[in-house]
């Protein structure tokens, strides 16, 4: 399969441009005006409804996001095999938990839908909702009895103005690591700082650690799987995390997203619901809540287009490097009770340096693969803030 290369400098634009194929806000039906003399004829006002804001002008609340046209997809019509395995009789609670986590692997049409539901300022005005869409392949990187790692990768096809399909465009996305009865969590402190903290009530529960596209930490939180009446869901404790790109690119009025997560398995995928508060924490530790949002991320299994082949081709060339990156970060997290990341170094972002190297690997420009672990370590060391020293063991 011929894969279309995508420069790492285009990554942000690529992700923010994702939107559902043919997505548009439906115009509500207008009732026909009664016949009357021209001077008496009145124009029927447009009306609409925005979830959570029924009395706000719907035209001002159209979702922000991209305008790129995605290719058509074919949804899986029957339940996934992993869904069937999850509901086999006689499973222990622990095995049900494991199978629920493993069931999140697959090829999906994904949607990311967020709406701010309330604000705490006296003159608060709701922000526009956010919506984006993509096709994403999720694979199991590691599966041990009490640890499971899932790698997400965007594999996208687009339609140009002539209706021709272009792609696949492949871009490594986020990662989630699940640990049973975890002892310690990496808790986000704000200002790109994380600190190790004992896990609360770990017995029988799983932590979910979420990592950025460059495998740097994002957040980690404990939660519990519940299996009842054919339903399997994981509900988290409250946890803080950095602003996502959909917000950091447009918002400067808060610096921590604090919320809970609920992941629910469905016959053809899973749904991730977030209830988030937007919090500004000042240097002196004072706190001010700005607003609150609801997020619904939906993963629906697809049978076409084929995402696995493009991912396999990409991972065959770059997977060893990303393994070096993960191993280096594991050493940082193990060896430091607290660390801070620089947002930029010499006007570069951490993810862009990693992705540029991965692009060289794809093109066969790196002749000695022994350079991979050296580059991974040196890159991460560059972005560890020297004002908050952290070490990577040799």
CA pair distance 210, 208, nearest whole angstrom: 6
- Residue 22, pLDDT score: 34
Q: Note whether residue 393 is domain-resident.
A: no
- Contact between 224 and 206 under an 8 Å Cβ cutoff? The reply is yes
CA pair distance 53, 382, nearest whole angstrom: 45
- Residue 19, pLDDT score: 44
Task: Kindly report, residue by residue over 98-153, the tens digit of the pLDDT.
Answer: 999 999 999 999 999 999 999 998 989 999 999 999 999 999 999 999 999 999 99
- Residue 73, pLDDT score: 94
- Residue 21, pLDDT score: 38
Q: What is the rounded radius of gyration, in angstroms, for the C-alpha atoms of the chain?
A: 23
- Residues 216, 221, 226: CA angle, nearest 5 degrees: 135
Give the chain's domain count.
Answer: 1
Return contacts of 195-201, CB within 8 angstroms, 24+ apart.
195/337, 195/338, 196/333, 196/336, 196/337, 196/338, 200/237
Task: Kindly report, residue by residue over 354-363, the tens digit of the pLDDT.
Answer: 999 999 999 9
Q: Which residues are paired to 241 by β-bridges?
A: 257
Q: Report residue 279 CA to chain centroid gap.
A: 20
Which candidate, 105, 131, 155, 169, places its Cα nearest to that of 297?
Answer: 131
Report strand pairing: 130-144 vs 106-119: antiparallel
Q: Note whether residue 38 is domain-resident.
A: no
Q: Kindly report the number of other CB atoms within 10 A of residue 126's CB atom.
A: 17
- Contact between 275 and 287 under an 8 Å Cβ cutoff? The reply is no
CA pair distance 336, 42, nearest whole angstrom: 70
Task: Kindly report, residue by residue over 81-102, the tens digit of the pLDDT.
Answer: 999 999 999 999 999 999 999 9
CA pair distance 43, 255, nearest whole angstrom: 45
- Contact between 358 and 171 under an 8 Å Cβ cutoff? The reply is no
Q: Note whether residue 170 is domain-resident.
A: yes
Q: Note whether residue 391 is domain-resident.
A: no
Q: Which two tokens stand for residue 285?
A: 């530790």
CA pair distance 139, 317, nearest whole angstrom: 16
Q: Note whether residue 33 is domain-resident.
A: no
- Residue 164, pLDDT score: 86
- Contact between 169 and 158 under an 8 Å Cβ cutoff? The reply is yes
Q: Note whether residue 187 is domain-resident.
A: yes
- Contact between 351 and 379 under an 8 Å Cβ cutoff? The reply is no
Q: Note whether residue 219 is domain-resident.
A: yes
Average pLDDT over residues 280-286: 92
What is the domain extent for residue 284?
Answer: 8-17+47-383
Which candidate, 64, 177, 83, places its Cα nearest to that of 127?
Answer: 64
**Block residue for tokens 């790129």:** 68
CA pair distance 285, 142, nearest whole angstrom: 39
Residue 64 has pLDDT above 70, yes or no: yes
Q: Note whether residue 3 is domain-resident.
A: no
- The total number of residues shown for the chain amounts to 394
């Amino acid at each position: 399969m011929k894969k279309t290369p995508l420069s790492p400098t285009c990554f942000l634009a690529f992700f923010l441009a994702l939107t559902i194929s043919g997505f548009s806000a439906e115009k509500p039906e207008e009732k026909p005006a009664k016949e009357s003399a021209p001077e008496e004829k009145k124009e029927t006002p447009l009306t609409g409804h925005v979830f959570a804001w029924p009395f706000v002008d719907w035209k001002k609340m159209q979702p922000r996001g991209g305008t790129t046209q995605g290719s058509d997809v074919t949804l899986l019509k029957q339940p996934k095999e992993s869904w069937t395995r999850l509901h086999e009789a006689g499973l222990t609670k622990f095995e049900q938990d494991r199978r629920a986590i493993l069931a999140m692997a697959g090829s999906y049409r994904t949607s990311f839908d967020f709406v701010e539901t309330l604000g705490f300022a006296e003159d608060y005005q709701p922000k526009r909702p956010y919506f984006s869409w993509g096709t994403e392949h999720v694979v199991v990187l590691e599966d041990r009895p009490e640890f499971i790692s899932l790698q997400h990768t965007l594999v996208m096809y687009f339609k140009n103005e002539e209706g021709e399909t272009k792609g696949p465009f492949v871009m490594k996305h986020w990662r989630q690591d699940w640990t049973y009865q975890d002892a310690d969590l990496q808790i986000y402190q704000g200002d790109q700082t994380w600190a190790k903290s004992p896990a609360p009530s770990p017995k029988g529960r799983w932590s979910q650690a979420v990592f950025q596209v460059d495998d740097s930490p994002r957040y980690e939180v404990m939660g519990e799987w519940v299996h009842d009446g054919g339903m399997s869901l994981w509900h988290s404790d409250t946890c803080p995390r950095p602003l996502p790109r959909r917000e950091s690119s447009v918002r400067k009025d808060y610096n921590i997203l604090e919320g809970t997560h609920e992941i629910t398995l469905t016959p053809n995928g899973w749904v991730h619901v977030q209830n988030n508060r937007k919090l500004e924490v000042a240097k002196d530790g004072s706190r001010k809540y700005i607003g609150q949002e609801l997020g619904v991320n939906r993963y629906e299994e697809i049978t076409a287009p084929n995402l696995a082949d493009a991912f396999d081709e990409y991972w065959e060339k770059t997977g060893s490097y990303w393994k070096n990156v993960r191993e280096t970060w594991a050493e940082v997290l193990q060896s430091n009770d607290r660390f801070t990341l620089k947002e930029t170094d010499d006007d570069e972002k951490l993810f862009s340096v990693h992705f540029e190297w991965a692009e060289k690997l794809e093109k066969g420009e790196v002749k000695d693969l022994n350079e991979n672990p050296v580059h991974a370590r040196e890159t991460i060391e560059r972005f560890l803030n020297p004002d908050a020293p952290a070490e990577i063991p040799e």
